Amino acid sequence: MRNFIELMRQQGRVEEIESPCSTVYEAPRMASRTDKILFFHDLDGRRGVMNLLSDRRSLAAALGVEERDLVGHLAGMTCSGRVVDAGRLEGGIPADLSRLPVMKHFPGDAGRYFTSGIVFSRYDGVENASIHRMMVLDDGRVVARLVEGRHTHTLLKEALARGEKLPVAVTVGTHPLVTFAACTRVPEGKELAYAAELMGGELAVRECENGVRVPDAEIVLEGYIGAEKATEGPFVDITGTYDPVRQQHVIEFTKMYCKEDPIYHGILPAGDEHKLLMGAPYEPKIYRAVGEVTTVRDVLLTKGGAGYLHGVVQIRKNTQGDAKNAIMAAFAAHTSLKHVVVVDEDIDIHDPHDVEYAIATRVRGDTDIMVVTGVRGSSLDPTRLGDGTNVKVGVDATMVMGKEDEFRRAEWV
């Protein structure tokens, strides 16, 4: 992570915050007002960073590609990186969360939350890595939101069914491409291999005392998840609204490892970094799916759609029905997608005004809008029904084939 921060410094993307700053509301509020990386030199006496990966330019820089090639580059990944065993993780002290500048982000939050922690787990030879929000209970325990059906929850159920606990290790202050990999749906157990591929082909990992393997990080918290539960929430999620309060599993930490003068990484809930990490991993998945039905050019999950619920897909039509096929492919690839707009190559999908122009001039409501009811939607969408279903809308905002001259915009010579 330090190497990435230095790269961003060289590009003028880091703002140094030298004055003391509070972990309660103040640092999160500052992060909400800029897309620059904020490096706090005195975050309640510690060092910290926010907005590490708050825009696509930063993600492209981390990958070493042009921003315009980002989605196509990611769509070509095959989880083929090499994970290198670098031995045991040495040292460590008894876990003490009071030593870390864990933030309280909004007045309605139930407490201080880890938001960037990657939960690495390993059980019966199967590994997983994913981000879970974790509310601090005391100096050695957190309660984590483990989404039912996701891999961490599945491994935990297997361990509990055998009367065992699930060994985990949480990293904070990890390279942003490893964080991105942990946010991406990949084949079971392939998160580290995918991270290695993103990092250029190879990723070194060290083994904790409990058998869990972790990559380089500023902070590693080692422990176990058992049957104990506690109240989790309220907490602001991706839409900027409060997620329901639930009974969730407790993680008990037994040990912590820290680099000298570690840099804590905090992600602002519903902020730009949260939106990018939540939605951008689905863009290559949509890209590949749409590419199966027509010629796909680019995909974007928009900030205005919470980086997750709204998408724009740019295609080159080969037949008149391609846009509607693209709509169906996008919904199948990202089941939480709520509204998607399909546009032609001349529309800049990163410009909301251009997308709106396409809707205004290329859409007939009776023929170009698809409404699909009774389908699975996002659990984060406040409009979802009690049974978890919702309504999806697809908009064909492309030109009618054979009549392109009637839709083309005037251009300067």
Q: Which residues are catalytic?
A: 237
- Joined tokens for residue 153: 């929850």
CA–CA distance, 394 with 313 (Å, rounded to integer): 11
